Copies of this chain bind each other. A is one copy, B any other.
Amino acid sequence: MLKKKKKNGGSSEPCVKKIQFADQKQEFNKRPSKIGRRSLSRSISQSSTDSYSSAASYTDSSDDETSPRDKQQKNSKGNGDFCIKNIKQADFGRREIEIAEQEMPALMALRKRAQGEKPLAGAKVVGCTHITAQTAVLMETLSALGAQCRWAACNIYSTQNEVAAALAEGGFSVFAWKGESEDDFWWCIDRCVNVEGWQPNMILDDGGDLTHWIYKKYPNMFKKIKGIVEESVTGVHRLYQLSKAGKLCVPAMNVNDSVTKQKFDNLYCCRESILDGLKRTTDVMFGGKQVVVCGYGEVGKGCCAALKAMGSIVYVTEIDPICALQACMDGFRLVKLNEVIRQVDIVITCTGNKNVVVREYLDRMKNGCIVCNMGHSNTEIDVASLRTPELTWERVRSQVDHVIWPDGKRIVLLAEGRLLNLSCSTVPTFVLSITATTQALALIELYNAPEGRYKQDVYLLPKKMDEYVASLHLPTFDAHLTELSDEQAKYLGLNKNGPFKPNYYRY
């Protein structure tokens, strides 16, 4: 096994040589399906966050069509080490960032606490994430903590150009714009890492493309890299595969599965976005509606709780008997889909599985039934099965199709089976704040960890830091935590500052 080899042999040969990459091209071509990764939430959420900048979005269209790669721009200090749409949008972007700052108090608190110490002093972070106002707050926080940053976008559509401009104006080396081509995408990433006289020692990735690129092109770079922080399901999956294959050559932090992030991404966020997504697309009234929710994990739990509270009658399907029993105890009839498919008004999938709603079920739904997906892939509803000649598709609104049967029956399909919450709703800044704070703390932890604490493996964020993320968000709610007395801490066998729970605790 690679890890052992390296230890034993102390070979100077970089470990990465042996990694077999998936065909890069093919990977990229599958991108549309990557809409399913939760990380994309950022790109969509931007529709929310740039709500306050719709003006900007529209002025974009009046911009010239020259590719940013063909333009030479400099910021007001004469610095030109960036590539963005239009540096003139910097002022507008700055206001966006300032507004976001107000809703991300945890990062602002981190900045304050770091005024004396600079926990990231010396850190050279290369990042590849959605580039939005929230990301800018994160980047400027990392900078305040002592880090130098170079950044590319993890999605070709999600960049807020004006925010990128503000970052460039502020001295960040940003390489990103909205509407990159595939070639642009990799070019931008390359510009972040392939630079003279600067070599990254930390990676912050969202989706794994940056990590991938370095593995492929600059494997030697890993010698100086202290760790990778990855937040997407897809990226984490890739890391675990590398680790399993013995090819991971630096510690990696899986921040996707930190408790706080998970609860907010899934339970709390979906509890609200299911209502929002359905309303914005269909204006359906929830009261009295019969709804079947497929899957009773955190996402399903959130959807069910919200709909029940609004007066819907909710049925649940499950494959896992424990979750099934939870659904029962929470007051939902646990059924097989075929038992209720004829009678329900809304079908929602949250399973992470494929072909949960197949053509057979679609055929039996009643007229006007709404079908949507809240799970994490676009495979839960077999949309392909609806693309047959006898069915007519009618686009009645953005993200809303009527699929019409020969007898006139209409099914209302949302977002073509992609994620409703990402396509038709928004991710609140508070949820993004949780994620960004988690990322920042993971970077600090990996960067400062004493030799040997982390091996070439994938780690969860230490519970204590997870708790710290949570604690930084409590002031938003004017919430006051109780502190253990010495006597109590001793009685419980706990450190007064946490961690407060064993690792297997289920929250």
A431 to B430, CA, bound (A): 34
Bound complex: CA of A224 vs CA of B279, how far in Å? 45
Q: A328-B474, A396-B52 known; A352 and B320 CB under 8 Å?
A: no
| A160: interface (CB < 8 Å) | no
Residues 122-136 of A, flagged 1 when their CB comes within 8 A of B and 0 if not, give: 000000000000000
Interface string of A81-113 (1 = CB under 8 A from B): 000000000000000000000110000000000
Q: Which of B260, B325, B352 contacts A492 (CB 8 A)?
A: B352
List which A161-217 residues lie within 8 A (CB) of chain B. none
* A500 B332 Cβ-Cβ under 8 A: no
A333 touches B321 (CB 8 A): no
Is A397 located at the chain interface by the 8 A CB criterion? yes
Measured in the bound complex, the distance between the Cα atoms of B491 and A355 in whole Å is 10
By a CB distance below 8 angstroms, the chain B residues around A507 are 322-323, 326, 506
Instruction: Say yes or no: A288 contacts B481, CB within 8 Å.
Output: no
With the chains together, A103 CA to B283 CA distance in Å? 12
A336: which of B313, B400, B468, B480 is its contact (CB, 8 Å)? B480
| Interface pair B483/A331, CB less than 8 Å apart | no
Contacts of A329 in B (CB 8 A): 263, 268, 287-288, 311
Determine how close the nearest CB of chain B comes to the CB of A398; give it in whole angstroms. Answer: 8
Partner of A334, one of B272, B306, B334, B479: B479
A-B pairs with beta carbons under 8 Å apart, 5 shown: A102-B368, A284-B428, A311-B328, A328-B477, A328-B479
Query: Which residues of A come within 8 Å of B, CB atoms?
Result: 48-49, 51-54, 102-103, 257, 259-260, 262-263, 268-269, 271-272, 275-276, 279-280, 282-288, 290, 306, 308-313, 317-337, 339, 343, 352-356, 367-368, 379, 396-398, 400, 402, 410, 425-426, 428-431, 466-468, 470-471, 473-474, 476-485, 487-488, 491-492, 498, 500-501, 503-504, 506-507
